A and B are shown apart, each in its own frame.
Chain A
């Protein structure tokens, strides 16, 4: 019975437990400033960041960084940080997805780094534009860019060859994507041209946005008060997917949380897989003969979607905020970033990294990453920075699932989702 309040109870339990813990690590006037970072990384990424932190501590006398995983992966960081903020046991730095920034920024304990980013030592303009946009909420900079990615199409060379199709060229279109998928589909062999998630999460939704943007549409109105994704551009985007799923049956509809699509691609069951740089190490381990190409275009526009992640800084006192910026400036400096990228396969977060000599070795280590890196230029927009986005996204996820399963028409599904989104957006506040 007590568990009936699972979410709230866990949260409050964390509060009760940690409330005493935080006062111990209170302010210290002398000695090095001690800060805590919750990195949320796993495996290679975790080891790499810990190695970098050790080196920072060895070379910097005035700041001491303590690494904690935060007891959570990147996915689970939001509930953790929420509990920590409520109970005053929060770290100085935490790894948080860009889509959470608008909500997290509402907390008064989030630091304001706006002034710092204007100083020359921050080299702020060296970060890509969409990263800067993602870490800035209503004019306030709340941290540093941590990781950037974007969506590309990975293709299985063998399946394309088997179907007698030329490998996709950068100037390909969505019509090409549909036709090639259809040709590669072989129900008898359990092979599908491509996949689309239909689970209830964001993974089902974010792939639709570049199609919408390319066709001249947008997700919300500029004042973020009205849903506009049900425009003709949105219908055109979802219609293509519907045709693939319902008419061609070339789309494997993945009802599980996203990972199954990747496994199917790794085992040669999918011709195309829309994903990002983070899958490259896995694909190499699985020894898939893959190629990488930018998203198909609409009238020559190949815009993609990206989800930058941030190192968000939290305010304990001025000295610790300053220590956090010192550390993050060092961590995101080109030399350290290149080491991190080489170990994990993630993309350059600063333009200047691409000019380092070691950058070429990195490109060689991860075949195809050059395409994804170049595709950063196509990542022009981020998802709407509003606290209501997660809710809006859940309505769109519903609409996509219903449409791809052939339960309703594209227009009906999108109009219904837009009506629900309008209602959610109309609620005042935030």
Chain B
């Protein structure tokens, strides 16, 4: 009797237990895949972010624990002329760089999308600046755009144009840096666009050709809409990239002359590691974070609405 009971219990229990065990095994397998990534994301992103948020409510100099100052760092921010200047400089970069990199990237990608001898070489030419380190690019460009000894002014003189202040001029330095930034980054847009253009199916292009579409019409009505998702991606990517512009500044101007090339991230770095006001620096970093997030959300919403209208 008890045997039968035991048996039936075992029978009824067995099917129940087996999925449990499988579930556990699935969980273990799942976590063993996701675990390392989770640990890395937690350790390198979320915990540091939380820590930085806490830091932004203190007056820490990283040498001593610091006192809690509540929202004072954020309040101080709005009266800080250098912060506003950094905001303006970074904004200028974003406004100039994003459209330029999208337009130039697409045009160059179209030009490079053809079968010519040595096309691989031409393609590589546009990608090399992107691969080059910011340090070498910065040093090189520092020489080219030097006011007194640079190639650029040498060229201007040869062409009979007046000598420009370039990196030595507070009103021109940020434009020059934007140009350098564009030169080092837009190769990435070219590569992405080129890949997207090559994905456009031949039939569509052939159909357009048979219908007698001009080159311009093909470009405007077929290529541009086809790479739309890449344009959104590159826009978001470029925005993040531009808002975090930092490395070239260290190797070209260190924020000078007269703060004319201080960007937000450079200012964060200065505040934390030169001026020993890490708490304040963290507050600036968080404002940048919030601003970036809002801009991206707004951008994506606009892009989505446009997509729905089409």
Contact = CB atoms under 8 A, between A and B. Distances in A.
A82 B273 CA distance: 9
A307 to B, nearest CB: 15
Contact of A6 (B256, B257, B265, B278): B265
B170 interface: yes
B282 interface: yes
B253 interface: yes
Contact of B147 (A1, A7, A255, A407): A255
Nearest to B266: A200
B167 A7 contact: no
A112 to B, nearest CB: 15
A16 to B, nearest CB: 5
Interface stretch (A36-44, A102-110, A231-239, A330-338): A102-110
A79 interface: yes
B258 A1 contact: no
Given A260-B142, A390-B274, A398-B258, A4 B243 contact: yes
Interface string B35-47: 0000000011101
Contacts of B259: 200, 398
Of the listed residues B55, B275, B286, the one surrounded by the most CB atoms of chain A closer than 10 A to its CB is B275
A6 B269 contact: yes
Given A5-B285, A255-B257, A402-B258, A82 B63 contact: yes
Interface string A234-277: 00000000000000000011011100100010000100000000
Contact of A8 (B48, B63, B146, B167): B48
B168 A255 contact: yes
A8 B281 contact: yes
B256 A12 contact: no
Contacts, number: 170
A4 to B, nearest CB: 4
A366 B146 CA distance: 32
Contacts of A199: 253-257
Interface in B229-243: 240, 243
Of the listed residues A3, A5, A9, A108, the one surrounded by the most CB atoms of chain B closer than 10 A to its CB is A5
Given A192-B148, A260-B142, A198 B289 contact: no
A78 interface: yes
B251 interface: yes
A318 B277 CA distance: 31
Nearest to A413: B258
Contact of A255 (B62, B253, B277): B253
A398 B254 CA distance: 12
A204 interface: yes
Nearest to B257: A401
A169 interface: no
A204 B256 contact: yes
A363 to B, nearest CB: 34
Contacts of A151: none
B69 to A, nearest CB: 11
Given A12-B47, A200-B254, A257-B254, A7 B173 contact: no
A25 interface: no
Contacts of B146: 255-256, 260
B134 to A, nearest CB: 13
Nearest to A249: B148
A85 interface: yes
Contact of B43 (A16, A108, A387): A16
Interface residues of A, number: 51
Interface in A106-129: 106-108
A4 B44 contact: no
Nearest to B276: A103
Given A198-B168, A253-B147, A394-B270, A5 B256 contact: no
Majority secondary structure of chain A interface residues (helix, strand, loop or mixed)? helix
Given A199-B257, A252-B148, A78 B268 contact: no
A377 interface: no
Contact of A107 (B45, B64, B170, B296): B64
Interface in A201-226: 201, 204
Contacts of A397: 256
Nearest to A203: B254
A348 to B, nearest CB: 30
B51 interface: yes
B281 A7 contact: yes
A11 interface: yes
Contacts of A103: 61, 63, 276
Contacts of A390: 274-276
Of the listed residues B44, B143, B165, the one surrounded by the most CB atoms of chain A closer than 10 A to its CB is B44
A2 B45 contact: yes
Contacts of B270: 394
A201 B257 CA distance: 10
B244 interface: yes
B149 interface: yes
A352 interface: no
Given A3-B244, A255-B167, A405-B257, A8 B142 contact: no
Interface of B: 43-45, 47-49, 51-52, 55, 59, 61-64, 142-143, 146-149, 165, 167-170, 173, 240, 243-244, 246, 250-259, 262, 265, 268-270, 272-278, 281-282, 285-286, 288-289, 292-293, 296
Interface of A: 1-9, 11-13, 15-16, 78-79, 82, 85-86, 103-104, 106-108, 190, 192, 198-201, 204, 252-253, 255-257, 260, 264, 269, 387, 390-391, 394, 397-398, 401-402, 405, 407, 429-430
Question: What 10 pairs between A and B have smallest CB-CB spacing?
Answer: A12-B48, A8-B52, A200-B256, A200-B255, A401-B257, A199-B256, A199-B254, A107-B63, A4-B289, A401-B258
